[in-house]
Structure 1
Amino acid sequence: MLRIRLQRRGRKKRPIHHIVVADNRKPRDGRIIEDLGRFDNVTPKNQLTLNRERALHWLKQGAQPTDTVRSIFKNQGIMYEMHLIRWDKSEEEIEEALAEWRQKREEKEEEVPTRKERQQALLEAEEKEFQKQLKKKAEEAAKEKAKQEALAAEEEEDEADDEAEAKTEEEVAEEAETQEEAEQEEPEAEEETQETAEQEESEEVEAEEDSADEDEEPEEKEAAAEAKEDESEEEEDDASEDDAEEEVEASDDSDDGDEDEDDDTEEDSEGQTSSDMLAKEAIEHIENTPLDELEGFVTDDEDRVTVQRALDEKKENS
């Protein structure tokens, strides 16, 4: 039995199908009887070149089209024309019926959006949904923040009340302590006066002894004064060296702090995922980033079709 079917040609990931007439016992890429045209379903418009007269000829001969070829013939009006021929319609009636059928199909095609328009509409819908979710999350975060601020204000008020009560208790205790101290200061003052009198007497005795020593040993005092000056100079040199070492350590600590800040910024930029971006930004990031660095960028929670499609195309092209 004769079959009208598609025969795959072209190259890998870029097929072009030939519409051929062949025996159904032959393999797909085997010998054919006649080539009727080409069908390219990779392009958005599904480009088709077909020999209409030869297709009608083989249909009249009893060749059976496959399901795919039948749908192609149906879209081109060949099956409708074959139906009119079987009903023994004249050529004029067939032409009028086909003209009316083509007009209705054109009106229908104008109403149906193209693949590019459907893609753009899908992208806009996803953007609106994403913006809606972001707005909802922002509102929830604002409510949570207001709730936490209210709780913090209540805690501060409670702490202020507790501090006020504690202060009143401390003031009462301080007043009691001041009274006790005042009572204890009176006998202590008398003891201090006695001690000061005894110290004055001892100081007078020491002063008399020092005056006697100064008269007897002036050379020993000069030697002791020179030794004290030498010790003070050595202490100043040690202090200057310690200050220089502290300045060097401070500069090293500041350099380490700068390096830590740079590392933190790099870790923040690497932790971004597709759910933190708009769909356009996520798609641009996928197109401009090597495939090895995209691992984990598109999370399992990602439900936007355009982002998933961009990642799949990146994997196929690599």
Structure 2
Amino acid sequence: MLRIRLQRRGRKKRPIHHIVVADNRKPRDGRIIEDLGRFDNVTPKNQLTLNRERAIHWLKKGAQPSDTVRSIFKNQGIMYEMHLLRWGKSEEEIEEALTEWREKREEKEEDVPTRKERQQALLDAEEKEFQKQLKKKAEEAAREKAKQEALAAEEEEDEADEEVEAEEDKAEEAETEETQEAAEQEESEEVETQEDTADEDKEDDTEEAAAETEEEDKTDDDAEEEVEASDDEEEDEDNDSDEDSEAKTSSDMLAKEAIEHIENTPLDELEGFVTDDEDRVTVQRALDDKKENS
């Protein structure tokens, strides 16, 4: 039985298919009866060169097209023309019907985007979504920063209030001490016999003031140690943030930047660059192409 099928030709990774008529018992790349044309499905527009008259000639003789060739013939209107011939239509009727069919197909093709247009639309959609995510992250970071600054301002105000209260306490203590000293002087002038008792009281007051001074010095030292500890923690956090900023993944970049990074970086250095939560098709496709070409 005669078959109209595709015969692979061309080179590696760049095939060109011949549309041939051959015996069904022959191998795919074996001897053929007639070459009807070429079909290049690598290009976006699927370029086709076909001898229409010879294709119809072999169809009339009973040659059976393969599924792929049947789809090509149907797209070119050959199967429709064969249908009209079997119904006994005249050449004028066939030509008129084919003209109408071609006009409808052209209108339909105008509404269908090309592969390149679909790819660009997909890339634009991914870029828009990525920009939206970046904007959301920036807003969250700004809110967190404002919250931290507000907390820091409140802590500074509390510390300032504590310092004012401490100064007021010191002033009150100083006034109390002056009042006591004045009272003691008056008592010493009035009653000389109570001088020894007043001196002892004064020594006791001096010891209490010294103890309070030591406690205040200790409190100041503790405050300085806390400030130094907080400074060390801030330096550690800055170092951690610097280390995190050095290790970038595809989710931290725009799709175009991630694709350029994949194309310009050796495959052994791309391990871990595309994360598991990466949902952009173009980035995944770029990594797959890199693996195939390596």
Q: Could you tell me which amino acid in structure 1 is paired with residue 247 of structure 2? A: G
| Cα drift, residue 176 of structure 1 | 5.8
Aligned to 2:119: 119
| Cα drift, residue 90 of structure 1 | 0.3
Instruction: Name the SS for the 1:32 alignment partner.
Output: coil
Structure 1 runs of 4+ with >4 Å offset: 170-183, 266-270
Aligned to 1:31: 31
Match of 2:266 among 266, 290, 294: 290
Structure 1 segments unaligned to the other structure (5+ residues) = 188-263
Structure 2 segments unaligned to the other structure (5+ residues) = 185-194, 197-239
Alpha-carbon distance in structure 2 between the residues aligned to 1:171 and 1:63:
115
Alpha-carbon distance in structure 1 between the residues aligned to 2:25 and 2:176:
117
Aligned to 1:275: 251
Structure 1 residues 160-169 or 301-310, which shifts more?
Answer: 160-169
Alpha-carbon distance in structure 2 between the residues aligned to 1:49 and 1:34:
14
Q: Does residue 302 of the first structure (1) align with residue 278 of the second (2)?
A: yes
Provide the identity percentage: 88
Alpha-carbon distance in structure 2 between the residues aligned to 1:179 and 1:288:
84
| Cα drift, residue 177 of structure 1 | 6.6
**How has the CA–CA distance of structure 1 residues 78 and 11 changed in structure 2, closer, same or farther, with 3 Å as cutoff?**
same
TM-score, normalization: structure 2?
0.71
1:64-83 equivalences in 2 (<5 Å): 64-83=64-83
Alpha-carbon distance in structure 1 between the residues aligned to 2:247 and 2:279:
19
| Cα drift, residue 63 of structure 1 | 2.2
| Cα drift, residue 41 of structure 1 | 0.7
1:188-267 equivalences in 2 (<5 Å): none
**How has the CA–CA distance of structure 1 residues 5 and 178 changed in structure 2, closer, same or farther, with 3 Å as cutoff?**
farther
| Cα drift, residue 82 of structure 1 | 0.9
Alpha-carbon distance in structure 1 between the residues aligned to 2:172 and 2:2:
114
Aligned to 1:93: 93
TM-score, normalization: structure 1?
0.66
**How has the CA–CA distance of structure 1 residues 293 and 267 changed in structure 2, closer, same or farther, with 3 Å as cutoff?**
farther
**How has the CA–CA distance of structure 1 residues 35 and 164 changed in structure 2, closer, same or farther, with 3 Å as cutoff?**
same
1:221-279: per-residue Cα shift (whole Å, max 9, x none)? xxxxxxxxxxxxxxxxxxxxxxxxxxxxxxxxxxxxxxxxxxx9x97785222222222
Instruction: Name the SS for the 1:315 alignment partner.
Output: helix
Alpha-carbon distance in structure 2 between the residues aligned to 1:56 and 1:145:
75
Instruction: Name the SS for the 1:4 alignment partner.
Output: strand
1:51-76: per-residue Cα shift (whole Å, max 9, x none)? 11121122222222222111111111
Q: What is the RMSD of the two structures over their aligned residues, measured on CA atoms?
A: 3.2
Instruction: Name the SS for the 2:49 alignment partner.
Output: strand
1:284-305: per-residue Cα shift (whole Å, max 9, x none)? 2222222222222222222222
